Amino acid sequence: MEVLRPQLIRIGGRVYRKNPIQEQTYQHEDEDDDCYQGLVECAEESCEGYEVVQTPQGFRCTLKAPSLLYKHIVGKRGDTRKKLEVETKTSISIPKPGQEGEIVITGQHRSGVISARTRIDVLLLTFRRKQPFTHFLAFFLNEAEVQERFLKFQEEVLEKCSMDHGVDSTIFQNPKKLHLTIGMLVLLSDQEIQQTCEMLQQCKEEFIDDISGGKPLEVEMAGIEYMNDDPGMVDVLYAKVHMKDGSNRLQELVDRVLERFQASGLIVKEWNSVKLHATVMNTLFRKDPNAEGRYNLYTTDSKYVFKERESFDGRNILKLFENFCFGTLKLNSIHISQRFTVDSFGNYASCGQIDLS
């Protein structure tokens, strides 16, 4: 990272520069636990978003965070919290591990309390981004007709293209799990799941009903395309999804949902628009049938994992099945689906949903 071009982090409408400071490290110490980054300067010095209460002893500010992230504020042997307290002249109270509650910041000066709160927010955001995705927003695309057509597609591909490099039955999607992803989520507590449900309901009331007209969206799942730029070395092949009436309503709906969740911080901003697609072949399935695409980046202890893949030659598949029709279906529900779970129908377990009709 360049000193003159530090990483920018956006929190609650404000922009912060994340300036690294060289620190002493200890042998066998986890990298995450001594990752305190020192002073975080505010690029836009507006702090009206924090509620700081004056007390007889000084000033007080509280915030909630998933208990899974407490350790990153405490640090090894409590070093991170001590450094925060010394540099901001505050006292920081954190619930015990495994207990949900409020983090309480107190100090004699309002500016010190605000500084501590800002730094804690940056720490929480930094380590939240290192957590593996836990849930995703999606439309399910697993109606009976589509599943049957998908199995027909798989049968014909294996019949006609099995001699092509890397093509075998292990890289096909489970037809019961066909879905259209709107966005990936990191939800670390029951409260965050509830917050996501409430946000989705707000989207329904504020714009989804207007876009859908209170009715399911009738779409067609037809045509195939690949993710990368070399049809001879494909890792992900997907079916395209579009409105049957030719309108842009589905794209508008999912883009506005994505925008709302990005603005709330529940989804990290990577893209400005949702790519309407349903994965039908993925080389990650070759070694792990439960793999879930590009989102397998971190383990539960925040360690980066590189997934080695063997690409397949998709040129004949693209030529022979370019316009393959998987069927039409009516999209009526957006689900908050939990990764690595299966419901009684073989689909991802849903933690909540809204219905369009």
| Inter-residue contact 312 to 339 (CB < 8 Å) | no
List the structure tokens of 293: 């695409």
Q: Which residue has the tokens 């539960």?
A: 300
CA 165, CA 169: separation in Å to the nearest integer? 13
What does the pLDDT read at residue 100? 85
Residue 39 has pLDDT above 50, yes or no: no
Tally of helices (H runs) and strands (E runs) in the chain: 8, 15
What does the pLDDT read at residue 8? 57
pLDDT band at 98 (very low <50, low <70, confident <90, very high): confident
Residue 26 has pLDDT above 80, yes or no: no
Residue 11 has pLDDT above 70, yes or no: no
Residue 318 has pLDDT above 80, yes or no: yes
337: enclosing H helix or E strand: strand 333-338
Supply the mean pLDDT for the chain.
86
Residue 174 has pLDDT above 90, yes or no: yes
| Inter-residue contact 294 to 132 (CB < 8 Å) | no
CA max distance for the chain: 79
Among 23-27, 212-216, 243-247, 268-272, name the one with the lowest average pLDDT: 23-27
What does the pLDDT read at residue 35? 55
Across 317-353, b (16+ Cβ under 10 Å) vs e yields bbeebeebebbebebbebbbbbbeeeeeeebbbbbbb
What does the pLDDT read at residue 25? 39
- Distance from the Cα of residue 115 to its chain's centroid: 28
Q: What percent of the chain has pLDDT over 70?
A: 81
pLDDT band at 17 (very low <50, low <70, confident <90, very high): low
What's the whole-number mean pLDDT along residues 283-291?
A: 79
Contacts 24+ apart (CB under 8 A), 47-51: 47/14, 47/114, 47/118, 49/12, 49/13, 49/14, 50/114, 50/117
14: enclosing H helix or E strand: strand 14-18
Query: pLDDT tens-digit profile of 237-281?
Result: 999 999 999 999 999 999 999 999 999 888 888 888 999 999 999
338: enclosing H helix or E strand: strand 333-338
Across 243-281, b (16+ Cβ under 10 Å) vs e yields beeeeeebbebbbbbbbbbbeeebbeeeeeebebbbbbb
